[in-house]
Amino acid sequence: MTIGTVHTRRRRVLRAGLRLAALATLAGGFGGAFAQPARPKVAVLSLFGIDAQVLTRKPAIGTNLSRPETQIVPMGNVLDLRALKAAERVLAGLQRADPVLLTSTSPSLHRDQDRYYDGAVAKLPEAFVKAAREDGAVQMVVLTRHRGAAQFRVRDAWIGSGTIEGAGFYIDLVERLKDWQGMETRSGYLAGFAWLRVALVDLATLRVVAERRIQGSRIVLQATGDGSLDPWGALNADDKLAMLEGIVADELARVLPELLGR
């Protein structure tokens, strides 16, 4: 009798377990009405923004060729911090756990960033990998600089010349563009840009799971059409920073869902 009672109780427990398993299976068909499995925790490492490029294309003397002059403007960690906040907003929208946000102002980490990749293997600084793992992250999104041609899309063409990398501004004092609202022809323009490499790294193996190349830009024409105002003066300092922040935020909102498979 005692053996029979124990056997019956075990069967009841088993049936209860099966009912719970069935409910868990059904939960997936109700669009998240029940608790969903936890998605992998992500770390985000941003290492592109310690400085900004400012390229200026001026009229050439004695030749039809005009190569942009390049200046480097120190930015501290403001661009990286704003990129991390933008990524955090995207991840919240994807219902991911609070990400581990990482960056550094060390100049050596912002130079020669191709060294962080050897084919499909990421060679990231150990301190970042350790911090991400200790905080429970299993994947890391890495934002570094991407180098490419300075090409900006306008209504019916691509404009620009030279090569750009990371984030910054392109000032053109040569090109004549039409303002399609006022139908005026303007001399010169200011372009904000973000040329970035975005890689998703598996923290267990340090393999690159997926990556995207960002080439985002925005163009502002100078305020007057008579050439009296340098395009650099079309925006104040706060507006210029907001432009770069907006470009990066828009591009991350576009590529992160693709990269992470939503």
User: Residue 216: its pLDDT value, please?
Assistant: 96
**Which residues on neighbouring strands pair with residue 143, listed in sequence order?**
46, 198
Helix (H), strand (E) at residue 174: strand 163-179
pTM confidence score = 0.79
Within 8 A by CB and 6+ apart from 162, the residues are: 55, 57, 67, 68, 70, 149, 150
Each residue's pLDDT tens digit in the chain (262 positions)?
Answer: 322 333 333 334 334 333 433 333 334 444 444 445 467 899 999 999 999 999 999 877 755 566 789 999 999 999 999 999 999 999 999 999 899 999 999 999 999 999 999 999 999 999 999 999 999 999 999 999 999 999 998 877 788 889 999 999 999 988 877 654 545 566 788 999 999 999 999 999 999 999 999 999 998 876 544 444 678 888 899 999 999 999 999 999 999 999 998 6
User: Residue 205: its pLDDT value, please?
Assistant: 97
User: Residue 139: its pLDDT value, please?
Assistant: 97
User: Residue 108: its pLDDT value, please?
Assistant: 95
Token pair in block for residue 121 = 């293997």
Within 8 A by CB and 6+ apart from 260, the residues are: 42, 94, 96, 139, 141, 200
Alpha-helical (H) ranges within 71-219 are 78-93, 126-134
- Count of positions (residues) in the chain: 262
Domain boundaries, the chain: 1-37, 39-260
